[in-house]
Amino acid sequence: MNKLKTFLFTVLASAIAFSCAEVEVAEDDGWEDLEIRTEYKAIKVEKVATGLERPWSLAFLSEDRMLVTERPGRLNLIENGEVTEIEGTPEVMARNQGGMLEVSVHPNYEENGWIYLTYSKANGDDTALTVARGRLDGNSFVDIEEIFVQNQYSSPGRHYGSKIAWDNEGYMYVSIGDRGTNPPRAQDNSDHAGTLLRLNDDGTVPDDNPFVNDDNVANEIFSYGHRNIQGLIINQENNEIWATEHGPRGGDELNIVEATKNYGWPDASYGRAYGNEREFHDGTEARSLEGMEDPVYEILPTHAPSGLALVTSEHFSEWEGNLLAGGLRSERIRRLVIEDRTVVHDEELLTFELGRIRDVRQGPDGMIYVVTDEDPGGVYRIVPNED
């Protein structure tokens, strides 16, 4: 009897192991490249890496080496499809929308090696958006410096903004959302919430920041009245800053962000209040009150903006100068054609093909990379389909 039990247990264990192996192989090998004909370009979507837990942001070290964050608190190196966790990164509070968020590489990375991370730092039950930088030493994050902490901790874990972009003079721009529970913070210029910041690469304040001589405004602030910028790109040819940000119920926006400007939140928005669907202003001709900026474009229906990329690659000459705006709730990318700071055409790409789009980047190889906000999530590459 004991021999029979042992035999049956062995057979059962082998069957389970075989079954698990089958599932693992199917999950790994089951991907088939997507071939899609868009309005002006035939494209193919390839898998780069999968099995990630809520990946958030992507940055490139070279054509074949990239960094990707996972919101629960990890930074990973991806090389030839292999994912390696980097040790020694800062501790984060991974709650709600908080955790390990943006990763960005210094424009002069080849010379100085600096890599930047944004994350939610805890103080008791409250958090603040924080920026740290460090360098890679093998698979370790070293020389860590905490260079910026939002000037007010708060709960809950929402609306961190957290995107980083670099202008062509080497200044770093960091978005911070209104943090969710008290939207009027975005109109309080002593508070970093609901703003776009302009910083030196070491986190200090540039001498020529627009509010640096105003005692009533935090020196780091470049613009304010933002609900939650989660798409941010700077055109290196002209230093134009383009941003996509979340509206409330509707009202997702594409903005050109300029120094000292007030972008309205929460006093003005095309969206409606969640609780009663009321308008945010009394007028009907524009969403803004006096002294507040209208968006360049309202993205409808609800998009829930995420990563934003500017296409400059010769591999996508048909899309040159277009913006690719990722969407979370909409599960698609919006290709926005810009002429004279105006959106003249809007095409939807990858609708419901990959899931929630968290980040969109143009890589150093000229291809377009997409990160999905799923568990498991992944990194995908869009390439031209010449077949």
DSSP string across 143-210? EEEEEEE-SS-BSSS------EEE-TTS-EEEEE---SS-GGGGG-TTS-TTEEEEE-TTSPPPTT-T
| Residue 135 · residue 77 · CB < 8 Å | no
Q: Is the pLDDT of residue 13 over 90?
A: no
Residues in the chain: 387
Closest to 196 (Cα-Cα) out of 214, 178, 170: 178
The SS3 call for residue 360 is strand
Please name the helix (run of DSSP H) or strand (run of DSSP E) that holds residue 324, with its range, or none: strand 323-327
pLDDT of 288: 63
Q: How far apart are CA 106 and CA 101, in angstroms?
A: 16
Write down the pLDDT at residue 261.
97
Residue 85, token pair as written in the block:
């966790």
Q: What is the pLDDT of residue 307?
A: 96
> pLDDT tier at 4 (50, 70, 90 boundaries)?
very low
Is 159 catalytic? The answer is: yes
Catalytically annotated residue among 106, 159, 192, 246: 159
Residue 365 has pLDDT above 60, yes or no: yes
pLDDT higher than 60, residue 5: no
> In which band, very low, low, confident or very high, does the pLDDT at 3 lie, cut at 50, 70 and 90?
very low
Per-residue pLDDT, 218 = 98
The answer to whether 165 and 234 have CB atoms below 8 angstroms apart is: yes
CATH number of the 35-384 domain = 2.120.10.30
- Specify the pLDDT at position 272: 81
Closest CA to 268 of 316, 309, 227: 227
| pLDDT 10s digits, 243-298 | 999 998 888 999 999 999 999 999 988 888 777 777 766 554 456 678 899 999 99
Q: Of all helices (H) and strands (E), which one includes residue 122?
A: strand 115-123
Q: Cα(359)–Cα(383) distance, rounded to whole angstroms?
A: 16
Q: What is the CA radius of gyration of the chain?
A: 22
pLDDT at position 17: 36
* CB environment 184-194: b (16+ within 10 A), e (fewer): ebbbbbebbbb
Residue 156, pLDDT score: 82
